[in-house]
């Protein structure tokens, strides 16, 4: 850095990285176009509720389809799909040959004649013949044999997931099951995953609430942390890791040895469970090793969290900041999933012979899905970046205040207003860099899945190495992003200038800060592992009861991802506060010496802690600590070369 940099919170600011903010607005304009397209062309209910041969979705009101006279009917009370020839189903180009209807109930007993069909319709209010045929005409209409089910109609039972009337007759059930298995197996993975998400939506929501409760409780616990609490947390993490790994291996062997595993979704569950079990075992071994190595620094970590907790105590509203971030993330995720489901079912209704309706997928949907997926990553990272900038701005405002007993009024609101007025573009740019690094990881994961089928060991090993390298790059970038956000909060500079200045100041003080921050970050990471472990365990227990036809391992991965994001959102209060405090400390040490002319902004407890933890040189240890002023007058930070 060649020019002078005046390190202090500036009062008069200007907008930073406005071009990136404009790009983000244009990107969201594209998302809004995809949203409108998905809403107009999609129907997510078809995945879950099922539909008849005339374009009516069962269990809801429908709009008419052109040239389909039996479409547009009110099926609110008709929730089940019934096939007229359930004992003679055949698959033709991913379509079942038999006509299907929406009925209010499935026949529990065998119906042998048209009179039985008529009696069943009058007694149960469930018409098993084509809608155009009146109940009173079942025995009079000469075409009744074509418009009514093939006799005899076997007794059937409603299947909970796809809402189908499944015949209970052994011969019919065997034929029906084989056709249904073929239909599910030939569905593309995208639609099977969507169906699994829809079927397990209540469980996913419940597990997300559980992760929220875990995260908030853990954040409050860290606020009042003690040595015993750290030991309890470590014990719970060790127990959770071992228990979840054991359950995953047990489920994998249980699924693999199950002779009834025929569905492609069940086979995918087995593959995913093996991957989860291996990954969980590796993480368990690594974390247990780190806990064993770092166990002697627990008291030091407790002291660090006490200092961070003292800073948060001066800004109590920081504790509630993650709640707002979480609510915004939840609203965005609900919006994103709703659009994804609508996009996955986007298709045009086309009328065929006999007034039947077929839905044909539209071209370009896969490109829209990828664009939508990038929007998920970029927007989620942007929301988290905004939280980091708000916390960093509040910490900076309180740190560079001479009178520690009288903190500035409303530092969180002040930081929020500064962010929205001047620095949204900086948050956009930082989150975009994270997104750019994540996309190659996703592509590598896709390539790895392809290579998995070809059993190319060398290529798979290369993919794994590239995947790990990409993860390391992302972790480093996240750290420097946070320092750049803090520098922007101090100097009001753009992202690149702030990142450059932060790297410069951290490089000069790396020896002092590295050993301090790593232990606190490790304990916080254990907290995130605790939330993910127990949330995933709850998911394993819940999803294991609904194995059939459900790609439940993917929703479980989604739950784990959401649990990590929630825990990260809450515990990042301590992480961002500590990182901002360390950067402010480095700036303070660089520009001041504790003398009457250049007093420190930090308090004596922080300086003593840093001196003890890093074993500063004798000259630094004996610097004067007497010049800590309790009034707002004092020497401002001087320019740094």
pLDDT in tens, 119-156: 999 888 889 899 888 888 888 888 888 889 888 888 88
Q: What is the pLDDT of residues 457-502, one digit of tens each?
A: 777 677 777 777 877 888 888 888 888 998 888 888 899 988 888 8
185, 218, 246 - which closes a domain: 185
pLDDT of residue 35 exceeding 80, the answer is yes
Most confident of 73-87, 298-312, 355-369, 543-557: 73-87
One domain for residues 269 and 127 = no
Separate counts of helices (H) and strands (E) for the chain? 20, 10
Cis peptide before 152 (omega within 30 of 0): yes
SS3 letters across 593-641: CCCCCCCCCCCHHHHHHHHHHHCCCHHHHCCCCCCCCCCCCCCCCCEEC
pLDDT of residue 4 exceeding 50, the answer is no
175, part of any domain: yes
State residue 183's pLDDT score.
52
pLDDT-derived band at 315, boundaries 50, 70, 90: confident
181, part of any domain: yes
45, part of any domain: no
pLDDT of residue 356 exceeding 90, the answer is no
State residue 588's pLDDT score.
81
One domain for residues 142 and 278 = no
The answer to whether 66 and 54 are in contact (CB under 8 A) is no
Q: Which residue has the higher pLDDT, 80 or 46?
A: 80
One domain for residues 169 and 209 = no
- How many structural domains are present in the chain? 2
In the chain, % of residues over pLDDT 90: 8
One domain for residues 110 and 245 = no
2, part of any domain: no
Which helix (DSSP H) or strand (DSSP E) does residue 102 occupy? Answer: strand 100-103
Q: To the nearest 10°, the Cα dihedral for 422, 427, 429, 430?
A: 140
pLDDT of residue 600 exceeding 60, the answer is yes
pLDDT of residue 22 exceeding 90, the answer is yes
pLDDT of residue 449 exceeding 80, the answer is no
Q: What is the pLDDT of residues 228-239, one digit of tens each?
A: 666 777 777 778
One domain for residues 604 and 551 = yes
Q: What is the pLDDT of residues 491-524, one digit of tens each?
A: 888 999 888 888 888 777 665 666 666 767 777 7
pLDDT-derived band at 617, boundaries 50, 70, 90: very low
pLDDT of residue 87 exceeding 60, the answer is yes
One domain for residues 156 and 207 = no
Q: How far apart are CA 573 and CA 384, in angstroms?
A: 11
One domain for residues 80 and 226 = no
One domain for residues 169 and 196 = no
pLDDT-derived band at 624, boundaries 50, 70, 90: very low
Average pLDDT, the chain: 76
State residue 548's pLDDT score.
47
One domain for residues 284 and 308 = yes
pLDDT of residue 450 exceeding 70, the answer is no
pLDDT of residue 394 exceeding 80, the answer is yes
Q: Which residue has the higher pLDDT, 329 or 171?
A: 329
One domain for residues 504 and 574 = yes
Q: How far apart are CA 72 and CA 601, in angstroms?
A: 72
Domain of residue 153 covers 50-185
One domain for residues 508 and 576 = yes
Q: How far apart are CA 529 and CA 283, in angstroms?
A: 10
Q: What is the CA radius of gyration of the chain?
A: 31
Q: To the nearest 10°, the Cα dihedral for 367, 368, 372, 377?
A: 10
One domain for residues 162 and 205 = no
pLDDT of residue 425 exceeding 70, the answer is yes
- Average pLDDT rounded to a whole number, residues 82-108: 78
Closest residue by Cα to residue 101 from 73, 123, 120, 122 = 73
Q: How far apart are CA 365 and CA 346, in angstroms?
A: 8
Backbone angles phi, psi at 464, to 5 degrees: -65, -40
- Average pLDDT rounded to a whole number, residues 287-293: 76
569, part of any domain: yes
Q: How far apart are CA 427 and CA 419, in angstroms?
A: 9
- Average pLDDT rounded to a whole number, residues 569-597: 80
Return the SS3 of 371: helix
In the chain, % of residues over pLDDT 70: 75
State residue 639's pLDDT score.
32
Q: CB neighbours of 352 closer than 8 A, spacing ≥ 6?
A: 358
546, part of any domain: yes
pLDDT-derived band at 283, boundaries 50, 70, 90: confident
The answer to whether 384 and 428 are in contact (CB under 8 A) is no
290, part of any domain: yes
pLDDT of residue 195 exceeding 60, the answer is no
- Average pLDDT rounded to a whole number, residues 12-32: 91
33, part of any domain: no
């Amino acid at each position: 850095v060649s020019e002078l940099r005046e390190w202090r919170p500036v009062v008069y600011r200007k907008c930073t990285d406005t071009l990136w903010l404009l790009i983000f607005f244009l990107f969201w304009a594209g998302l809004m176009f995809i949203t409108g397209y998905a809403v107009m062309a999609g129907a997510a209910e078809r995945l879950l509720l099922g539909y008849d041969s005339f374009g009516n979705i069962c269990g809801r009101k429908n709009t008419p389809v052109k040239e389909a006279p039996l479409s547009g009917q009110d099926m609110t009370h008709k929730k089940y799909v019934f096939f007229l020839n359930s004992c003679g189903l055949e698959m033709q180009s991913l379509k079942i040959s038999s006509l299907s209807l929406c009925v209010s109930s499935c026949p529990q007993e065998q119906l042998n004649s048209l009179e039985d069909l008529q009696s069943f319709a009058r007694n149960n209010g469930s018409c098993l013949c084509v809608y155009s045929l009146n109940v009173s005409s079942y025995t009079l209409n000469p075409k009744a044999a074509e418009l009514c089910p093939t006799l005899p109609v076997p007794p059937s039972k409603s299947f909970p997931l796809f809402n189908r009337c499944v015949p209970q007759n052994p011969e019919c059930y065997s034929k029906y099951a084989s056709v249904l298995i073929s239909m599910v197996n030939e569905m593309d993975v995208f639609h099977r995953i969507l169906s699994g998400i829809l079927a397990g939506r209540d469980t996913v929501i419940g597990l997300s609430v559980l992760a929220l409760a875990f995260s908030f409780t853990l954040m409050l616990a860290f606020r009042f942390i003690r040595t015993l609490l750290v030991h309890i947390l470590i014990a719970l993490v060790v127990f959770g890791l071992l228990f979840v790994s054991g359950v995953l291996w047990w489920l994998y062997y249980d699924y693999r040895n199950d002779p009834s595993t025929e569905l492609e979704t069940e086979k995918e569950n087995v593959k995913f469970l093996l991957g989860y079990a291996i990954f969980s075992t590796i993480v368990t071994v690594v974390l247990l090793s780190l806990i064993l190595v770092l166990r002697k620094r627990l008291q030091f970590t407790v002291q660090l969290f006490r200092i961070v907790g003292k800073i948060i105590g001066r800004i109590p509203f920081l504790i509630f900041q993650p709640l707002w971030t979480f609510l915004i993330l939840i609203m965005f995720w609900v919006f994103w999933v709703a659009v994804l489901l609508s996009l996955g079912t986007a298709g045009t209704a086309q009328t065929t012979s006999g007034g039947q309706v077929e839905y044909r997928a539209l071209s370009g949907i896969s490109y829209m899905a990828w664009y939508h997926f990038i929007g998920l990553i970029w927007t989620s990272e942007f929301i988290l970046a905004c939280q980091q900038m708000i916390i960093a701005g509040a910490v900076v405002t309180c740190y560079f205040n001479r009178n520690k007993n009288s903190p500035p009024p409303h530092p969180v609101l002040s930081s929020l207003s500064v962010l929205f007025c001047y620095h949204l573009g900086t948050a956009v740019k930082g989150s975009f860099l994270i997104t750019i690094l994540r996309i190659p990881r996703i592509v590598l994961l896709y390539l790895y899945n392809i290579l998995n089928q070809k059993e190319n060991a060398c290529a798979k090993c290369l993919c794994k190495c590239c995947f790990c390298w990409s993860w390391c790059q992302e972790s480093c970038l996240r750290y420097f992003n946070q320092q750049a956000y803090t520098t922007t909060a101090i100097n009001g500079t753009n992202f690149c200038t702030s990142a450059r200045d932060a790297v410069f100041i951290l490089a000069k003080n790396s020896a002092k800060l590295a050993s301090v921050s790593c232990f606190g970050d490790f304990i916080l990471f254990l907290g995130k592992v605790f939330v993910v472990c127990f949330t995933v365990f709850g998911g394993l227990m819940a999803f294991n009861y609904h194995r059939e036809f459900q790609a439940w391992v993917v929703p479980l991965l989604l739950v784990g991802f959401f649990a990590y994001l929630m825990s990260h959102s809450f515990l990042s209060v301590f992480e961002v506060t500590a990182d901002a405090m360390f950067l402010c400390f480095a700036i303070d040490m660089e520009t001041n010496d504790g003398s009457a002319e250049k007093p420190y902004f930090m308090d004596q407890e922080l300086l003593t802690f840093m001196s003890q933890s890093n074993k500063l040189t004798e000259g630094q240890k004996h610097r004067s600590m007497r010049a800590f002023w309790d009034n707002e007058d004092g020497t401002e930070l001087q320019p740094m070369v």
